[in-house]
Structure formats: C-alpha cells, structure tokens
Amino acid sequence: MRLTGRDWALSFFVIVGIAGLFVGVPLVSAAAAFLLVLALAAEWLTNESIATLKVGHRTDAAAVVIGQAAEVWVTVEHPRPWPLTAVHFEDTVPLGLEVADPKPPGFQKMALGSAVWGAFPVGSHERVRHRVTVVARERGRWIMGPARVWGGDPLGWSKFELFAPDRAVLTVYPRLFAVPRSLLNPNRPQGERRGPPWNPPDPLRVVGVRPYQPGDPRRLIHPHATAHTGTLQVKRLETEGDEQLELLALAATAPYIWEGVDKDRLESLVSATASVADKFLRTGSALGLSVVGSVYGWPRGVNLSPGRGPEHWARVMTALAWVQPGGGQGHDLGPSLVRLSKRLRPGAHLIYFACFHQASWTPMLRRLAARGVQITFVPVGMADAPPAVAGVRVHPWSPGLVAP
C-alpha cells in the first residue's frame, strides 16, 4: 500500500498561515488554518481507509472447460463509516482467457492478454464487487492480476494505492472427445468387472448407499436408508475383479528437445489422454495417471496412484490441464515404464500415449506383455506407421478428429 500527494498541501497551508500573521492579514491566516485542518482530516481519513480497506481478487469457479465462461471478481470492502467517492481498479487477463462480449468500457487488448479497468463508489460499511466475464480459450492454468486498486479523499489531496494480496487463478480442463469402444479392453465386458456377465457383484457385500436413479433395480433399494432420509436410497455393492488401469503420456512431440514443440499435436495428445481417462473414470473404474513432462511448479511430471470418484477425476483433469512439455525427465518414456512395472500386476491394462516411438522402449514393453500386462499404444499424429511390438495393440488417434 502507498500514500501519496499530501506533503505539498500541508506545507503550502503552513507557509500561507505564517505569512498571513507576518503581513497582518488575519483572514488569510484563518483560511490557511481551516484548509490545514481539512488537509489533516483528509490525510487521517485516507490513512484509516488504507489501514482497514480489504481488497479481494478471485474467480467464481476453480476450473472450467474450453469454451465455458467464468467471472473474475475484484472486491473492495470498506468497514469505516465514511464513503469513498471513487475507487479505481485495474486488472490483467492472460492470453488463454478472452474477455467476453460486450467488452467493458475500460478494455484494451495487449500482446500477452488484455487489461480491464474501471471505477465505482464504495459507501460506508459496504462491500462492492466488480465482475468481469472471461471465456476459456486454451487449456492451462491461467493467473490473472495483480489487481491494483487506488483512490483518495473527496478533495483529492491524499491518495492511496493497494494491490490485492492474491491473484485469481482459473484452471481450464482439456478438450474431451468421444472414445470409440474399440479402444477399451476387450476383457472388460461389464465396466470395471472382469469375467463373464453371469458373475455379478455379491449382494451381501454392501459398501454404502446412494440416491436412487432411474433404471436402478428395485431389489437394490435399501429400506432402512430410505426410511431414514425420506428419499429412495439404493445399495452400493462392492465390485469384483477391479481391473488395474494405468495411463501413461509423453508430453513431447519430437524425440529431441531442440526440435521444438508442435502445439497442435501436444494439445491433441493431452486431449486424447483426458478423453480416455474421463471415459474410464465415469464408469467407476480405478485409474492411475503418469505423465512425462512438467506441471506448473513441479518439473518432474505427474504420478497419480490409481483412484476413482469425482475427486480423483478432478485431480486427473487438473494434472492434464497443467501439463507442459519438457521437464526434468526429458523426452524418455523408459524411466516411467520401469517405475510403472513395479505396480503393474498380471492382467493390468496399460495405455500409453506418444507422438513418436523410440526403439529403447521395445524391450520393456515386451517384458510387460510377457508378464500378462495388456498394453495399448495410442500414437497421436504420427506420420510413419508405428512399429509392431508383440503383445502391444496399436490404436492411432488423429489430431482434430472427434472420433479417432
């Protein structure tokens, strides 16, 4: 915070008051004294304002999907009994977010994003929130701000400037596409259960209850939970033979880092990984995720243990939203395959995504296949035909196609 523009006024009124006494014009001294009191009062009001003024900066949603809108809030809370006639603010919006139409009066397009600004009065004991609507255009973790707020006393003699202590952060999830059934494991005919369809879950192994949904069998209705809550509740049965699913993605578009990054192919690879993860997690399957690359604030990539449910879905999508090329592990999938081999049991399903293939991966893939691990390779935008590796299914994913 900063207070400016007051010293010249105080000095001027003191000099005028003293001069009025020396030249024998008491009216000038009285006027200077009155204005000096006003200046001191303005300084005190401004000091009290900046000492108690609270500035906030946040979004109404933590994460959105591409094309969805979110609101960015700049909040000013004034707990004192005097009003602030005009509080100005200024905020910046990064390049991956676009200020929605109609654009606010204070808007300017810049090279790395946009700037928005405005002013509003804040009354006594009042909290005012200014909203700016943004539309997500690109995947990533986008940071807005810092939000700057400034104002002063009604006379304009004293001014203050504040910065919001926090920046508004918005995560944009990857674009999701339809996943063809041919990509799914043929040994999973009933979602997360392996084996023949006549091997249903044990009806005595109840792990919880959930609200009734249309299509649920009536034999699964839980009478005691229904009577207790007043709404229909059905039993959640423990599934049998959960399949171990692991996704592995290489966030690189060329074998060597000095060859650069093809942004379109990288986004297609992240979308392919996210689409498959979304497909499995929405069926209730447990799924693990490993990404060779880096994420914001962590250069060693992603390594999420298998999990299920909405919270794990959000962790997986957030990790993929934050993925960047490169990182401490370079462009080699081999170390991640070695690490995953320690937790892959026979019958597990490994799906790995890459924009190219290196011969050094083949021995590890063959060893995993020999142990009974089912492996699917999803090449993304490869110009050459992927090499044939015994025990590895190949399912190409073409950039820009909804259904690969």
Instruction: Give the span between the Cα atoms of 72 and 118, in whole angstroms.
Output: 14
SS3 of the chain: CEEECCHHHHHHHHHHHHHHHHHCCHHHHHHHHHHHHHHHHHHHHHHHHHHHCEEEEEECCCEEECCCEEEEEEEEEECCCCCEEEEEEEEEEECCEEECCCCCCCEEEECCEEEEEEEEEECCCEEEEEEEEEEECCCEEEEECCCEEEEECCCCCCEEEEECCCCEEEEEECCCCCCCHHHCCCCCCECCECCCCCCCCCCCCEEEEEECCCCCCHHHECHHHHHHHCCCEEEEECCCCECCEEEEEECCCCCCHHHCCCHHHHHHHHHHHHHHHHHHHCCCCCEEEEEECEECCECCCEEEEEECCHHHHHHHHHHHHCCECCCCCCCCCHHHHHHHHCCCCCCCEEEEEECCCCHHHHHHHHHHHHCCCEEEEEEECCCCCCCCCCCEEECCECCCCCCC
- Predicted confidence at residue 13, as pLDDT, reads 53
Q: Are residues 63 and 317 in contact, defined by beta-carbon separation less than 8 angstroms?
A: yes
Nearest CA to 340 among 332, 331, 350, 330?
A: 350
Domain boundaries, the chain: 2-51, 52-173, 181-192+241-394, 206-237
Instruction: Give the span between the Cα atoms of 294 and 296, in whole angstroms.
Output: 7
- Give the count of alpha carbons within 13 A of 25, CB side only: 11
Nearest CA to 74 among 57, 96, 62?
A: 57
Question: Does residue 215 carry a pLDDT above 70?
Answer: yes
Instruction: Give the span between the Cα atoms of 68 and 65, in whole angstroms.
Output: 6
Question: Does residue 198 carry a pLDDT above 70?
Answer: no
- Give the count of alpha carbons within 13 A of 163, CB side only: 9
Q: What pTM was computed for the model?
A: 0.73
- Predicted confidence at residue 25, as pLDDT, reads 55
* Bridge partner list, 120: 87
How much is the mean pLDDT over the chain? 78
Instruction: Give the span between the Cα atoms of 289 and 313, in whole angstroms.
Output: 11
- Predicted confidence at residue 42, as pLDDT, reads 64
Task: Report how far apart the first and last C-alpha atoms of the chain are (Å, whole number).
Answer: 54
Q: What is the average pLDDT across 105-122? A: 86
Query: What are the φ and ψ backbone dihedral angles of 142, each rounded to 5 degrees?
Result: -105, 130
Instruction: Give the span between the Cα atoms of 109 and 154, in whole angstroms.
Output: 32
Question: Does residue 287 carry a pLDDT above 50?
Answer: yes
Instruction: Give the span between the Cα atoms of 157 and 148, in whole angstroms.
Output: 20
Is the omega angle on the peptide bond into residue 104 within 30 degrees of 0, that is, cis?
Answer: no
- Predicted confidence at residue 45, as pLDDT, reads 67
- Predicted confidence at residue 399, as pLDDT, reads 56
- Predicted confidence at residue 142, as pLDDT, reads 92
Q: What is the pLDDT of residues 7-32, one digit of tens each?
A: 555 565 555 555 554 555 566 566 65
Q: Which CATH number fits domain 181-192+241-394: 2.60.40.10, 3.40.50.620, 1.20.120.420, 3.40.50.410?
A: 3.40.50.410
Residues 6+ positions from 311 with CB-CB distance below 8 Å:
none
Question: Does residue 253 carry a pLDDT above 60?
Answer: yes
Lowest mean pLDDT among 246-255, 260-269, 331-340, 392-401: 392-401
Instruction: Give the span between the Cα atoms of 189 and 206, in whole angstroms.
Output: 22
Q: Are residues 269 and 353 in contact, defined by beta-carbon separation less than 8 angstroms?
A: yes
- Predicted confidence at residue 273, as pLDDT, reads 93
- Predicted confidence at residue 320, as pLDDT, reads 93
Q: What is the pLDDT of residues 307-320, one digit of tens each?
A: 888 899 999 999 99
Q: What are the b/e assignments for 209-225, b being 16+ CB within 10 Å?
A: beebeeeeeeebebeeb
Q: Assign residue 381 a region: left if phi > 0, alpha if psi is -120 to 50, beta otherwise?
A: left
Q: What is the average pLDDT across 128-140? A: 90
- Predicted confidence at residue 251, as pLDDT, reads 87
Domain 52-173 has CATH 2.60.40.1530: yes
